[in-house]
Amino acid sequence: MTSLEKHNRMANAIRFLSMDAVQKANSGHPGLPMGAADVATVLFTKFMRFDPKNPNWPNRDRFVLSAGHGSMLLYSLLYLLGYEDMTLEDLKNFRQLGSKTAGHPEYGHASGIETTTGPLGQGIANAVGMAIAERKLADEFGEGLMDHYTYALCGDGCLMEGISQEAITLAGHLKLSKLILFWDNNSITIDGAVSLADSTDQHARFRAANWHTIDIDGHNPDEVAAAIEEAQKSDKPTMIACKTTIGYGAPKKAGTNKAHGSPLGDEEIAETRKALGWEYAPFELPEDILDAWRVAGLRSTKSRVEWEERLEGTKAEIKAEFNRRFSGALPGSFDRTVQKYKQKLADEKPTLASRKSSQNALEVINGAIPETIGGSADLTGSNNTNTSQTPSITPDDFSGRFIHWGIREHAMAAAMNGIALHGGLIPYSGGFLIFSDYCRTSVRLAALMGIRVIHVWTHDSIGVGEDGPTHEPVEQMASLRAIPNLLMFRPADAMETAECWQLALESQHAPSGIALTRQNLPAVRLDYSEKNLCATGAYDLIPANEAEVTIFASGSEVGLAVEAQKVLDGKGIATRVVSVPCMELFFEQPEDYQKAIIGNSPIKVGVEAAIRMGWDAFIGTDGIFIGMDGYGASGKGSDLFKHFGITAEAIVEAVEKKRA
Amino acid sequence: MTSLEKHNRMANAIRFLSMDAVQKANSGHPGLPMGAADVATVLFTKFMRFDPKNPNWPNRDRFVLSAGHGSMLLYSLLYLLGYEDMTLEDLKNFRQLGSKTAGHPEYGHASGIETTTGPLGQGIANAVGMAIAERKLADEFGEGLMDHYTYALCGDGCLMEGISQEAITLAGHLKLSKLILFWDNNSITIDGAVSLADSTDQHARFRAANWHTIDIDGHNPDEVAAAIEEAQKSDKPTMIACKTTIGYGAPKKAGTNKAHGSPLGDEEIAETRKALGWEYAPFELPEDILDAWRVAGLRSTKSRVEWEERLEGTKAEIKAEFNRRFSGALPGSFDRTVQKYKQKLADEKPTLASRKSSQNALEVINGAIPETIGGSADLTGSNNTNTSQTPSITPDDFSGRFIHWGIREHAMAAAMNGIALHGGLIPYSGGFLIFSDYCRTSVRLAALMGIRVIHVWTHDSIGVGEDGPTHEPVEQMASLRAIPNLLMFRPADAMETAECWQLALESQHAPSGIALTRQNLPAVRLDYSEKNLCATGAYDLIPANEAEVTIFASGSEVGLAVEAQKVLDGKGIATRVVSVPCMELFFEQPEDYQKAIIGNSPIKVGVEAAIRMGWDAFIGTDGIFIGMDGYGASGKGSDLFKHFGITAEAIVEAVEKKRA
């Protein structure tokens, strides 16, 4: 058997596992795995560095299947390469409830799935994040410990999505030369030919973004190998355009959109077997080919062992730090640092915009936790996400800890996912809360994956003021709270801001968003408490026995609640104030805690400078809600609060009206 | 005075109005208006065709300020050109509560504001939509009635946002040669130099997308004029890169990010007056310059009058049709058409996926309403948004009525906004509900503007099945319902689908989303009703006197509610079913209607294959909710409904448990 014959048979193993699994599931996408099988075979048998027995080896090369609908490509590879938690049985259960082999690759389902993909374009930006993480950690720990490539495979859909442009311009700017993107250039999308909707010269586009590009026949293994070698040598990120035939090998459907997203059908599969000379039953593999794949799977064992030896040979502190970083654990001293800072805040009781309180907290955090990596989507001075420890990362110097993401919220969020998935770093962003809408898909994916990324979202209400309704969130708190497994924090003052930051950092398996104000807020938490009061999501800020009125509020409106409480109390109306910094954490508390906090005041008031959605869980459907019921307006922030009736006076008035 | 001197003084009028208004407001962005004043002066005094006395002239050129933070540029222009509803007083009230002159341009606040901008990149895609509308209407009504340019002005931020790539690749593909984009190439963003975050060769990027590009000194009026002339002649869309100095004229702050987003300060303004030789007080304009602007404002009166004459000279039916189209009114016969179709549905009682019911309804609608223009983001066969009347629009033939948007949900939504804003057409999209997340910013802007765009969002729950959680909406219904002034429909069967389509089409001042299933649904509306029952948002589908149980459900779960009702009724438990196709419309109903529908059954159940958020308003916080509380999974749709306990049996069981 010539080496080309061997290659073809190895690639065909992917093709038949994929098309047979799709056929058995009666659902799925055979076209991409069949088309990209040659590229994947060359990449994984000759270049990718990984160890199926140690799938989490920190210095492994990363592979991202951005075109996630081609999931059977990845599952086939993992099985063929000998990843132990991907069995033939798993492939047979493709797309069935409870299987590891979901319709799209899901992070955490099996080793070797580096990220969850499916929503197009996301994977490219994840890969950019991984490549950033690699550079940053190489700078910090040296290339002996961190020196790997990040590969991604995308389709035409990924390249049409806007996020791809944000990601590639960022990668080109940052000269991420160890990022190599394969474009599965098959000229077909679901609707038919790409030319129905697009005429972009992708090579020129990538070169305009400071990438190196290479054009190859994606079915010629020698060209694939030569291109990867060339890409590895480039001082820019490289896009390899692999001209492929979707559904390669299927006599009737290859090269058409019929091969994209449906099973080929028994007849076409039988014809494909004939055409490719594959005489084996579904899920049956010739021993020599499986052996060849398994041998390829062990290619990098030596490299991994040598790396382990280098790690062993490193100074004990550095080794311990490296291992801690990749374990995800925070430094042991962190809680003490926070306590000290909280004592200071209790002493000083500062009146500050919470975006500024956040910066102050970050100054402490970034001093205590070296793995945080900050940034902003061109709003550094507004988001206050920079601190004395965070010089900027530049294309030629990754020793900094701050990324100028540019006006690219979407790629920022998706690349942060990639940084978190890579391990060793904790990314936090900076943006306006309103622009969370631009990156919602990536935020959702972080929540679905359960990874620790932290979004700093400032300018969190009509407090934005003059910029007007295009910049004033009213429904964003509700719509972000709606995302399962996303912790949305909205702290009321400097103390709560510090506590929310601590919770976000300690939350290893959920992303967080922290909504912060532009405008000043008085301190409402005046005493030191060792306990993190925000940890229960909602707590008694001002308790009252047999309170007739309970006011629930978050963020900037807690101060109003406290003011109103004083007035009502002065009028002999027993009033209690509950601060609600994080609804998600509250609803994770034991039922009796929830009941106690919600309590049984006859009058319940919710106050948030946002829409009511979500607050009924606290105040009931007959509770009073002081907030917004439509868009904001352009004007001075203080004028807007008055105009929209979100004031202490309005709270008092509403309570008195209800009592009358 | 030479013509250059005159130009400079006219441009300086913009500069000083802008910097003085920002100073007076003590808030805003002087840099862009000062930098782009020369470009705007040439464009508006020599090229733009419009009539301040007839600002809604359908054939006017459109101008979109994509860099919306430079709003004072637009407000200054409108005042200078003689738009009657933009007075000096309005400029003095810049960014004050209640003023027309909001921080960012808001559609509807004053004539000449063609769209609401601020969130970056959106305006470019709006302009693409306007240019599509122009080509489509030119094809339909002839170039005698429709033949105008669409101009847009963007900044570096717009070009970094991913949506810009989607928009420009679409425009290049469609050869929108009458679209002319000015890039205010000032090399400055909020954080500082563009080079902090980007190194893109924008010319090469645009050329890769099939655009013509021109590079000019944006302060040289001759170069600006020559470039516009060249652009007008191009057979491609044109990007004119205008090298400008942000804050042009300010001695210390020009060319720096200090001029971007804050008032210049009294001292710097005084120095700028000296530097530019401007001896007038704030808001004071020399008579000759104001006159020159006002004369320029009247430049196109003749052209407008000639156009009116051409319209008058057109066949009566065509003239009436043209006028109807631009009035936004539907054809008078539409309601009769719907009634006939509803009678047919009552006879046939089809069991269909609601995406298919939608296609059937669209077949009727597209036959009755010639101004609908459909499309899909590469999911035509899945969204079912094509009908027999909608051949595809191609780069060289705009006679079709269907746009292959490509995998570009964001630009699709924003360009649809542009089509609706242009007038004469009603755009509807096709996409998966989950991917509404990709285009949320544009959907929100449509709702803020109150324009009629209709989003067809199919695959609306775990009914998606095997594609898994990345493709299964669970929180999207809630998060879209959270957007003020967006009507979110979720019809239960073919009849409701037809009614919801009618409501969406009749809603001239709000966008709509229609959530539709992949899986089959039985008919639940079995009888013909002339009245559109969905119009109240929620209605008694199965009434019951003194119902012990009321089940509220939407979409695919109404069928389950009906099944459960039968079982409960059979057990002697009086049960009522309320269908909830549109929460927003329900909460617009008179209070007594709302009370009657919500009723006082001791047991209230909400059923939706999505999260609970929003349903408490129907079932109270102690109601039973049958739905999702986290992400879906990959598996057969029917398996998933069972797995997540969203079945008629689960409803019955929950009711019986509550009664016990």
A277 has pLDDT over 90: yes
Enter the tokens of residue B95. 């960014």
For domain B539-659, give the fold. Answer: Rossmann fold (3.40.50)
Q: Report the binding-site residues of A.
A: 29, 69, 118-120, 156-157, 186, 188, 260, 355, 382, 435, 459, 467, 471, 518
Residue pLDDT, tens place only, A58-111:
999 999 999 999 999 999 999 999 999 999 999 999 999 999 999 999 999 999
The pLDDT value given to residue A393: 98
A1 has pLDDT over 90: no
d(CA A348, CA A466): 31
Distance from CA of A158 to the nearest CA of B (A): 8
| Mean pLDDT of the B616-642 span | 97
Q: How many CA atoms lie within 13 A of A317 on its CB side?
A: 0
Contact B380 A190 (CB under 8 A): yes
**Sign of the dihedral through C-alpha A189, B379, B482, B612:** negative
**Sign of the dihedral through C-alpha A346, A350, A356, A359:** negative
Q: Are B618 and B580 in contact (CB under 8 A)?
A: yes
Enter the tokens of residue B533. 């029952």
d(CA A655, CA A642): 17
Residue pLDDT, tens place only, B413-453:
999 999 999 999 999 999 999 999 999 999 999 999 999 99
Indicate the DSSP class of residue A392.
Answer: B
Residue pLDDT, tens place only, B136-184:
999 999 999 999 999 999 999 999 999 999 999 999 999 999 999 999 9
Give the number of other CB atoms < 10 A from CB of residue A203.
Answer: 16
Q: Which of B268, B409, B472, B499 is catalytic?
A: B409
Look-up: residue for tokens 């975050």? B197
Enter the tokens of residue A644. 């929209």
Nearest chain A residue to B194 by CA: give it.
A406
B1 has pLDDT over 90: no
The pLDDT value given to residue A653: 98
Give, in degrees to the nearest 5, the angle at Cα B389 between B385 and B391: 75
Q: Are A122 and A441 in contact (CB under 8 A)?
A: yes
Under the banding of pLDDT at 50, 70 and 90, the label for residue A636 is very high
Enter the tokens of residue B196. 């902090």
| Mean pLDDT of the A562-579 span | 98
Distance from CA of B477 to the nearest CA of A (A): 10
Q: Are A92 and A283 in contact (CB under 8 A)?
A: yes
Q: Where in chain A is the domain with CATH 3.40.50.970?
A: 9-304, 333-515
d(CA A536, CA A544): 19
Residues of B in contact with A166 (CB under 8 A): 160-162
Active site (annotated) includes residue B134: no
Q: Is A396 exposed, middle or buried (0-12, 13-18, 19+ CB in 10 A)?
A: exposed
Q: Which CATH superfamily is domain A333-515 in?
A: Thiamin diphosphate (ThDP)-binding fold, Pyr/PP domains (3.40.50.970)
Report CA dihedral (A561, A562, A563, A568) to the nearest 10 degrees. Answer: 80
Q: Are B328 and B508 in contact (CB under 8 A)?
A: yes
Give, in degrees to the nearest 5, the angle at Cα A474 between A469 and A478: 155
The pLDDT value given to residue A144: 97
Report the SS3 class of residue A58: coil
Contact A170 B410 (CB under 8 A): no
Q: Where in chain A is the domain with CATH 3.40.50.920?
A: 539-659
d(CA B339, CA A170): 54
Q: Are A227 and A214 in contact (CB under 8 A)?
A: yes
Look-up: residue for tokens 């007080």? B281
The pLDDT value given to residue B384: 98
Contact B191 A378 (CB under 8 A): yes
| Mean pLDDT of the A497-521 span | 98
Under the banding of pLDDT at 50, 70 and 90, the label for residue A472 is very high
User: What interface predicted TM-score (ipTM) does this complex get?
Assistant: 0.98
d(CA B417, CA B119): 14
d(CA A466, CA B596): 42
Distance from CA of A430 to the nearest CA of B (A): 12
Q: Are B66 and B117 in contact (CB under 8 A)?
A: yes
Contact B406 A189 (CB under 8 A): yes
Which one of A116, A161, A435 has the shortest CB-CB distance to B407?
A: A161
Which one of B189, B205, B207 has the shortest CB-CB distance to A407?
A: B189
Look-up: residue for tokens 């020129």? A204
Report the SS3 class of residue B654: helix
CA B492: distance to chain centroid? 26
d(CA B174, CA B194): 30
The pLDDT value given to residue A380: 97
Report the SS3 class of residue B54: coil
Tell me the Cα Rg of chain B: 27
d(CA A332, CA A337): 10
Q: Which whole-number Å values give the CA distances from B546 to A605, B543, B573, B628, in the listed order?
A: 32, 9, 10, 29
Question: Is B219 among the annotated ligand-binding positions?
Answer: no
Question: Is B435 among the annotated ligand-binding positions?
Answer: yes
| Mean pLDDT of the B391-417 span | 98
Q: Are A533 and A499 in contact (CB under 8 A)?
A: yes
| Mean pLDDT of the A638-660 span | 97
Contact A482 B471 (CB under 8 A): no
| Mean pLDDT of the B361-370 span | 98
Enter the tokens of residue B282. 């704030």
Nearest chain A residue to B473 by CA: give it.
A483
d(CA A565, CA A410): 41
d(CA A279, CA A284): 9
A483 has pLDDT over 90: yes
Q: Are B242 and B39 in contact (CB under 8 A)?
A: yes
Which one of B201, B483, B633 has the shortest CB-CB distance to A208?
A: B201
d(CA B414, CA B119): 11
The pLDDT value given to residue B531: 98
Report the SS3 class of residue B560: helix
d(CA A655, CA A603): 7
Which residues of A are known catalytic residues?
A: 409
Among B307, B62, B23, B313, residue whose Cα is nearest residue B176: B62
How do strand A188-189 and strand A372-376 relate by DSSP bridges?
A: unpaired
| Mean pLDDT of the B604-625 span | 97
A vs B, Cβ pairs < 8 A, gives 349
User: Residue by residue, what is the 3-state secondary structure of B147-202?
Assistant: CCCEEEEECHHHHHCHHHHHHHHHHHHCCCCCEEEEEEECCEECCEEHHHCCCCCH
Domain B9-304 CATH class label:
alpha beta
Q: Are A339 and A530 in contact (CB under 8 A)?
A: yes
How do strand A426-427 and strand A431-432 relate by DSSP bridges?
A: unpaired
B535 contacts: CB under 8 Å, gap ≥ 6: B499, B503, B585
User: B283's torsion region: left (phi>0), alpha (psi -120 to 50) or beta?
Assistant: left
| Order of all β-strands in the sheet with B487-489 | B431-432, B454-458, B512-515, B487-489
Residues of B in contact with A411 (CB under 8 A): 162
Q: Are B511 and B582 in contact (CB under 8 A)?
A: no
Enter the tokens of residue B607. 């059923």
Q: Which whole-number Å values give the CA distances from A486 to A444, A597, B631, in the listed order?
A: 8, 22, 12
Give the number of other CB atoms < 10 A from CB of residue A26.
Answer: 11
d(CA B498, CA B362): 8
Under the banding of pLDDT at 50, 70 and 90, the label for residue B261 is very high
A571 has pLDDT over 90: yes
Distance from CA of A104 to the nearest CA of B (A): 6
Q: What is the DSSP string of B550-581?
A: EEEE-THHHHHHHHHHHHHHHTT--EEEEE-S
Distance from CA of A162 to the nearest CA of B (A): 4
A510 contacts: CB under 8 Å, gap ≥ 6: A447, A450, A452, A485, A486, A487
d(CA B293, CA B303): 18
| Order of all β-strands in the sheet with A487-489 | A431-432, A454-458, A512-515, A487-489
Contact A172 B199 (CB under 8 A): yes
